[in-house]
Amino acid sequence: MSGPTDRIPPALRTEALEQLLVERELVDPAVMDKFIATYERDVGPMNGAKVVARAWTDPAYHERLLADGTAAIKEMGFGGPQGEHIVVLEQAADVHHVVVCTLCSCYPWPVLGLPPSWYKDPAYRSRVVREPRAVLAEMGLDVPADRRIEVWDSSAEVRYLILPRRPAGTEDWDAERLAGLVTRDAMVGVAEVGAP
């Protein structure tokens, strides 16, 4: 059975609910913003950074991660909703991978946290498929013309994690130190891991 609220987009309903909770002083907006920022930038992305760093330092784990991303990620204790089937794609000298969800915002929460606002934006979702090189350049990543770009469309069935290239000058670094270099954006493919 449907009612009048079924026609209102979920984002608008969520915003209205948040506004009502704030007006009734049941939720402090500053606390809510801090909570969201923590999960968007810190908690989730750090899980993915640990996965990447281990793959860079442990050849056997690297192979398991590429063969079965979901199982290898679960080895590290990360899994659950939005992480039921994760495929890991490795950046290479001749190919650059980037992830999008063209239908909504399917995203591997256990390893990347909450999706950033730009990932959910209709402009990103449509343009990165049509003109990925231009979109990446606008986001600050210039992919050389001789490097092919492959765009991967996440869905409710399959989500993707990008295994970035390890930066030069980190050959003697341990996994903990390496994890500090890895960003969420590099694991989506809109950035690369910078040299130390």
> Which residues participate in catalysis according to the annotation?
101, 104-106
Distance in Å from the first CA to the final CA of the chain: 57
In 3D space, the residue among 113, 10, 111, 133 whose CA is nearest the CA of residue 52 turns out to be 111
Check whether 105 is labelled as a binding-site residue: yes
In 3D space, the residue among 158, 159, 152 whose CA is nearest the CA of residue 189 turns out to be 152
Check whether 154 is labelled as a binding-site residue: no
The one-letter amino acid at 95:
V
Check whether 106 is labelled as a binding-site residue: yes
| Alpha helices by DSSP H, the chain | 10-23, 29-37, 44-57, 59-67, 69-75, 109-112, 117-120, 122-130, 132-138, 175-179, 184-188
User: Annotated binding residues for Fe(3+), as ranges?
Assistant: 101, 104-106
User: Annotated binding residues, as ranges?
Assistant: 101, 104-106
